[in-house]
Amino acid sequence: MKTTKKSNHQNHYPTPPFIKQNQSPPGQTNKMDPRPDHGEDTYQGSNLLLGKVAIITGADSGIGKAVAIAMAREGADIVICYKDDIEDEDAQDTESYVLQAGRQAILFKGDIRKEEICKKIIQLTVSKFKKIDILVNNAAYQMSHKNLQEISAEEWNMTFEVNLSAMFYLIKHAQHYIREGGSVINTTSVNAYAPNPTLIPYAASKAAIQNLTSNLAQKFLEDGIGIRVNAVAPGPVWTPLIPSTISDHEHFGENTPLGRPAQPAELAPVYVFLASEAASYIAGATIPVTGGRITI
């Protein structure tokens, strides 16, 4: 693994090429080399979200894990949503960091492709905390393919169900419980702007998230609900999804001007910002965190 610093912007984070490390989806953090940085040792809170309640999907690992750690250290209680038994260890690790921050944590394992599961997440949260302040729709599925013939109808539909339909279900059922001034933050992607031809279903779903974010933001403001809806567009980020879904992950992130993938810790502060009062005049926006890749 190459870790040479090319500039101050690259900081201490590793740069490709990485070692070959194939995993089966959805992947596990403890099998990754280098291990992703979720801000475990670096993120320091400032009570920006004190007393808030945040639901975060895909919070077992990657971006979701980093956001959960950061929001907990900012004073929020966290509902950690994830899907598979194989992710139990990662999810429990996230829970431990939330508890160490002095906040409450709920682990919820379930398939958010099903509307009834999304409804249960909302009901459990309200039953426990009596409110919702922040909803982070972060869970996603992707798989790389060389041509269209490799993409089955089942995979196409599943990609949209995980990435987009679940987002709609959660927002739909959470809307009544999110108080005025609350925040919905959706994870889109640089692929919404510059789609990767090996990630056709994923890229299309991320573009749809961009549209949904803008549309809902307008709708909620016009209706006087007072809920802000925004999105974050990550570039390449070093998470378990990468070695489990991308065959040439040794070179992942080389196509950015910074020459490396982001670490999850570099995304978390953007989500915290959008959820905080500092972003009170921001709605319908997408903030790109792409390592310099252009999003216009």
Could you read off the pLDDT of 237-290 as tens digits, one per residue?
999 999 999 989 999 999 999 999 999 999 999 999 999 999 999 999 999 999
In a 3-state reduction of DSSP, which class is residue 89?
A: helix
How far apart (Å, rounded) are the C-alpha atoms in residues 80 and 109? 8
| The pLDDT value given to residue 278 | 97
H helix count then E strand count, the chain:
8, 7
Q: Which CATH number fits domain 43-289: 3.40.50.720, 3.10.129.10, 3.40.50.620, 2.50.20.10?
A: 3.40.50.720
Task: Find the DSSP H helices in 144-275.
Answer: 153-160, 166-174, 200-222, 241-245, 268-275
> Of 177, 202, 271, 281, which one is the catalytic site residue?
202
Neighbour-count burial for 214-248, b at 16+ CB within 10 Å, e otherwise? bebbeebeeeebebbbbbbbbbbbbbbbbbbbbee
Distance CA 289, CA 270 (A): 8
55: enclosing H helix or E strand: strand 53-57
pLDDT at residue number 6: 41
Q: Which residues of the chain have pLDDT under 70?
A: 1-11
| pLDDT value, residue 296 | 80
Report the alpha-carbon distance of residue 3 to residue 15 in Å, rounded: 5
State the Cα–Cα distance between residues 110 and 31, nearest whole angstrom: 23
Q: What is the DSSP letter of 102?
A: T
**177 is an active site residue:** no
Token pair, residue 76, equals: 């929020």
d(CA 156, CA 201): 6
Q: Given this model, what pLDDT does residue 226 score?
A: 94
pLDDT of residue 84: 94
If residue 133 lies in a helix (H) or strand (E), which one and from where to where?
strand 132-137
What number of other Cβ atoms are within 10 A of residue 44's Cβ?
Answer: 8
Question: What is the pLDDT at residue 10?
Answer: 54
C-alpha Rg value of the chain to the nearest Å:
18
